[in-house]
Structure 1
Amino acid sequence: MPNYILISALACVAIVLADRFFRQLNSRHADEPIIIPPKIHLFGHLLQVLQYKGLYYKELRDTHKLPINTLSVFGSRNYVVNSVKIAGAVQKARRSFVSQPFQIMFATNVAGTSKHGRARLQQMLESGDRKDDGGLFRALRTGMAPGSGLDELNRTTLPKMADVVALLKPGDKLYTEANLWRWLRDHVSMAIMDSYYGKNNPFKDPKVKDAFWSYEDHVPSYMFLPQFVAPRAYRQQKIVVDAFEQYLRRNDQQYASSTVRNYCDVQKTYDFSFRDNGGFHATLAIGLLTNIAPCVFWMTVNIFSREDALREIREELTNHLTDITEDGETTKRTQTIQLTKLMTESPVLMSTYRETMRLYSFGASVRTVTEDTMLLDQYFLRKGSMVTIPASSAHTDPDIWGPDVNEFNYRRFIDTKVPGAANRAFGGGSSLCPGRHYATSQTLAIAALMVLQYDIKPTNGDEWPTPSAKKTKSVSVVMAPDRQVVFQVQSRPHDESEVQNLQISDAKGISSVDKLFT
């Protein structure tokens, strides 16, 4: 029979020793940012971040009013930056603050990378060759940057998005009822995967698609022994990675976009197994699919719930419509709107998009401190610690945005100029999201298609939903709705709008969106 008294005594001794050890680690340098103690000793901050995500950082900022603070979890330091000025200084000091270690840890854990694959990635990192370090992902960044790769992706995706939005047409019925959040997630994700991975996209198999959303739902657990913490999600991960592995073994990437083909070509040069490469593609899918649909959802909610916004944006977009001609004769059944006009000549639509990203995005840029650093001659940051720059702090700072900082103002960005570092919807500095140009193009296109063709409202007079951090995955940048709401989607009367079939055209020559966020 176990000696429970002895076991309990040993456990108590271990806890006391661990407490003393972590207290020694937490001895504070005189110029180090103030340490905020957790409500639960040792791991309280970790629990709060898992529950409230980026909004926990905002809560701490509002409570303690610190431009930068220190959170301690099991003795390790996490410096949380709330000041735009300090965030800008971190971004400029690229040698002292690097994002690669965290990116590699996240990618390998979520991808289920083998020991050989992890060692290879670590070798690339420790070589000190930044070009080699980023070579694996350079093809993705290049393919998603303004140029031929982005033009191809937009040209392929936009017709698919038009077809997706057309599925909402009620036909002979008065209106269609749809769980808009789930509907957008499922259909938009398939259009994106088809555009990137081609006709043999692994998500064609419903089993793989369903497994992906279960797998994605538990991403935080992959940082801590997932086979024990979330065994079902661990099995779902295997289904998704298996599917991508078989996709690569069959050479199905030959039917994919040039961005994916080039990425696969680069993977071959790094001596990774098919299995490891399949895991990297599963991780890429998370980045591609988890943010466009929620952003479109919140744009839709905030436009259709505000009569002034809906009217102004419709007028703005209607002025851009061009009739498509057939054999020299104009037809009113199909019209087109240029993507470039959505991005450069639609100030109210673009302001609404930027306000959506400001108020509903709460991602964070994470970096590792490579050397003891005195930042701005004021703050001492220790080597080996982590620096977190949460978007929620910059996006809700009343000194930057004014007294209505927590309200949705769809016209906020028409004349407002703010510091570039205050716009952190896509991260900042070396950790800028490579898919930001594609995401912006597709989000604006889908929103325009819906505004011009439909009237949308909650069913049975239900209230419009509000965002919730609790229902949002830690991996997502944009918050999810707090509850599922069924919407009535009704086609606009033809005497009000002659747009029966709408297309987005001119999917080329898209310039950088970075200037739109500065």
Structure 2
Amino acid sequence: MALSEMPWTLIATGTVAIAALFISRILAPVKDAQEPPFIPTSIALIGHLIHLLRQGAAYLSAIDKTHHHGLYTLPILTGRLYIVNSPDWALAMHKAHKTLSFNPLVVQAMRAIFAFDDPSTQVLEDNMNNERGDRSGILLEMHDMMFGAFVQQIDELNANFLRCWTPHINALAPTGKLESISLWYWLRHHFSIASAASLYGPGSPLTLNPSLENDFWLFENSIGPLFSIPYPSIFLRKAYQARQRLFDAFTEYTELDRYKLPGTSRLIQTRAEMTVRQFGLTKRMFAQGELSMMFAAVVNTVPVTFWLLSYILADRELHAEVRAEIDRCVDIASGESGGSRRRCVLNVTKLKSQCPLFNSALRETLRITATMNINRLVQDDTLLANHSTGEEFLVKKGSGLAIAANVMHFQQDIWGDDADVFNARRFLPTTEKSKSEGEGSKTADIAATFRDVKGKLHSGAFRSFGGGNNVCPGRQFAQTEIQSVVALFIAGFEIDMPDGAPYKPPPSEGSKMIAGVSKPGMDVEVQVRRRAGYEDVEWVCEM
């Protein structure tokens, strides 16, 4: 058949295929001999991108099952995304922190998600990678201030949250009444409002307008699309409007100087002074940026709290053992000033230091649910050295690099044959070793290195709070929040399914690339009543 007789569609298809092959050969990144292995894809340039958009972090788990590389490369468009799959390579990455930066990603997020304007973005970019060598500039100085505050002010921050939280729990199922609640929504709503109040004081926008809590979580659920979809006011209208309401509320909070009110944490007051007075951002930009602080405060702690409570409720034996531990941290006193209500005082410091199973269950919950993939941008060509295997790989300037915690947290050579299931006792060797080494009642770091049943340490394997220079500074505060909330439910209440069936944790909504702790895919309707003997108590928490 002559060319002129061939169907035009066949000719067009062939032409496009040849052109696509030619373009992919020119544009696709060429592997350097020193780079980590490239993972092939059936669709040049965009194959890995499509899978990541469709499957999220689950795509990295699928790759690991096939290729088993500790460090590999995903060629995407004209660039590269390096994936770290092993603790050894994660430690190598942390040692190269001077050329693997998180701050350029922070700037992108503040612009795309929190709508920073050009002048404010320029302030963020100034010396963001310590080019001057003096750690000046808003990102570095804020980082150092936050790390200091969560050490020097931790008692104040803890006390603020406990004071703000107890009125919520004391209003639940009062005087022995049975109350039906949607467990995820109830926890999300009340925890978010209490946490915001503990930071932003009596003028907290969520205290003055509780409906903003729903706006916050609607906005949070759209951070991925906000990064990638243009014209959000059109294509992400509900999330865009929710974000705008939050922006307006926090702007009013700032412009009326509510952060100066008594009861506001020094942490927020210092952030305001640094941002507005020292670095000259407008109060509007400071207000919008404070939503990132709200993200840090509740986006991960709220779902971890839900999952920890769910895992304990689902196992009657575990529930009984944990309740017994918590009961030893509770003192019961008679009502004050002749009142009829008794006071139950929960000692949160004892929760952290004298409840080994409860603490192990918390860390196991973090292992299962808090599999945040840690991202960096490669600032200069960097040679990563794995000191365990002797391997070296080159990562190229301008590329992305991510630690796949959702893979590492389920590797059987680290966590055992039951790595895929919740085991509340998995972290007991870690807590027991702390006691045997003479730490006594000292609270062990919740991000401490995992120790298995044989006593072997697995450095770099537990990633729920990050690692290296960017380990979460607020992890001890988060631990106080999570454990105090769950402990009060376990010690003070009975929680049952409406039909009397055993409690069963709901399915997870799934793993996303731009996300924190996985949230439940559906809510759980439960019936709550006061525990027998505790119908009339008023709960108080102290450190």
Scaled to the shorter chain, the TM-score interval is 0.7 to 0.9
Report if the CA contact (8 A) 1:335-1:499 is conserved.
no
SS where residue 494 of structure 2 aligns?
strand
User: Residues 334-360 of structure 1: CA distance to partner in whole angstroms, max 9, x if unpaired?
Assistant: 221221111111101000000000011
User: Residues 196-216 of structure 1: CA distance to partner in whole angstroms, max 9, x if unpaired?
Assistant: 111111122245333222211
Aligned to 1:146: 151
Query: For residues 256 and 56 of structure 2, what CA distance do their matches in structure 1 show?
Result: 39
Aligned to 1:93: 96
Report if the CA contact (8 A) 2:332-2:344 is conserved.
yes
What letter is aligned with 2:219? Answer: Y
Report if the CA contact (8 A) 1:351-1:412 is conserved.
yes
SS where residue 127 of structure 2 aligns?
helix
Aligned to 2:529: 490
Equivalent residues in 2 for 1:367-406, closer than 5 Å: 367-376=376-385, 377-406=391-420
Unaligned runs of 5+ in 1: 507-518
| 2:353 matches 1:338 | no
- Aligned residues with identical type, % of pairs: 26
Report if the CA contact (8 A) 1:22-1:75 is conserved.
no
| 2:118 matches 1:115 | yes
* Matching residue within 75, 79, 97 for 1:76: 79
Unaligned runs of 5+ in 2: 1-7, 386-390, 431-450, 452-456
* Matching residue within 211, 235, 239 for 1:233: 239
Query: For residues 15 and 500 of structure 1, what CA distance do their matches in structure 2 show?
Result: 76
SS where residue 455 of structure 1 aligns?
strand
- Structure 1 residues 19, 309: closer, same or farther in 2, change over 3 A? farther
Query: For residues 15 and 166 of structure 1, what CA distance do their matches in structure 2 show?
Result: 69
Aligned to 1:464: 504
Report if the CA contact (8 A) 1:467-1:479 is conserved.
no
- Structure 1 residues 433, 97: closer, same or farther in 2, change over 3 A? same
Query: For residues 284 and 42 of structure 2, what CA distance do their matches in structure 1 show?
Result: 42
Aligned to 1:516: none
SS where residue 422 of structure 1 aligns?
coil
Query: For residues 66 and 282 of structure 1, what CA distance do their matches in structure 2 show?
Result: 37
Equivalent residues in 2 for 1:352-501, closer than 5 Å: 352-376=361-385, 377-416=391-430, 417=451, 418-460=457-499, 461=501, 464-470=504-510, 475-494=514-533, 500-501=537-538
What letter is aligned with 2:480? Answer: S
Equivalent residues in 2 for 1:152-167, closer than 5 Å: 152-167=156-171
- Structure 1 residues 22, 157: closer, same or farther in 2, change over 3 A? farther
- Structure 1 residues 404, 110: closer, same or farther in 2, change over 3 A? same
**117-126 or 381-390: bigger deviation:** 117-126
SS where residue 517 of structure 2 aligns?
coil
Aligned to 1:259: 267
User: Residues 274-303 of structure 1: CA distance to partner in whole angstroms, max 9, x if unpaired?
Assistant: 222121112221221211111111111111
Report if the CA contact (8 A) 1:324-1:331 is conserved.
no
* Matching residue within 20, 24, 29 for 1:26: 29
Aligned to 1:321: 330
Query: For residues 294 and 180 of structure 2, what CA distance do their matches in structure 1 show?
Result: 29
Report if the CA contact (8 A) 1:391-1:427 is conserved.
no
- Structure 1 residues 469, 502: closer, same or farther in 2, change over 3 A? same
CA RMSD of aligned residues (A): 2.8
**436-445 or 26-35: bigger deviation:** 26-35
SS where residue 26 of structure 1 aligns?
coil
SS where residue 125 of structure 1 aligns?
coil
User: Residues 481-517 of structure 1: CA distance to partner in whole angstroms, max 9, x if unpaired?
Assistant: 12222012222111xx6883332212xxxxxxxxxxx
| 2:320 matches 1:311 | yes
Residue 234 of structure 1 and its aligned partner are, at CA, apart by 2.1
Query: For residues 271 and 22 of structure 1, what CA distance do their matches in structure 2 show?
Result: 48
SS where residue 151 of structure 2 aligns?
coil
Residue 364 of structure 1 and its aligned partner are, at CA, apart by 1.4
- Structure 1 residues 163, 254: closer, same or farther in 2, change over 3 A? same
User: Residues 306-354 of structure 1: CA distance to partner in whole angstroms, max 9, x if unpaired?
Assistant: 1111111111111222233678999992221221111111101000000
- Structure 1 residues 386, 343: closer, same or farther in 2, change over 3 A? same
- Structure 1 residues 463, 500: closer, same or farther in 2, change over 3 A? closer
SS where residue 374 of structure 1 aligns?
strand
- Structure 1 residues 504, 115: closer, same or farther in 2, change over 3 A? same
Query: For residues 15 and 187 of structure 1, what CA distance do their matches in structure 2 show?
Result: 58
What letter is aligned with 1:45? Answer: H
In the comparison of the two structures, how many residue pairs are matched?
493
Report if the CA contact (8 A) 1:332-1:498 is conserved.
no
Bigger radius of gyration, 1 or 2?
2
| 2:289 matches 1:295 | no
What letter is aligned with 1:437? Answer: Q
Report if the CA contact (8 A) 1:253-1:261 is conserved.
yes
Aligned to 1:214: 218
Query: For residues 129 and 479 of structure 2, what CA distance do their matches in structure 1 show?
Result: 34
| 2:518 matches 1:503 | no
Query: For residues 104 and 21 of structure 2, what CA distance do their matches in structure 1 show?
Result: 26
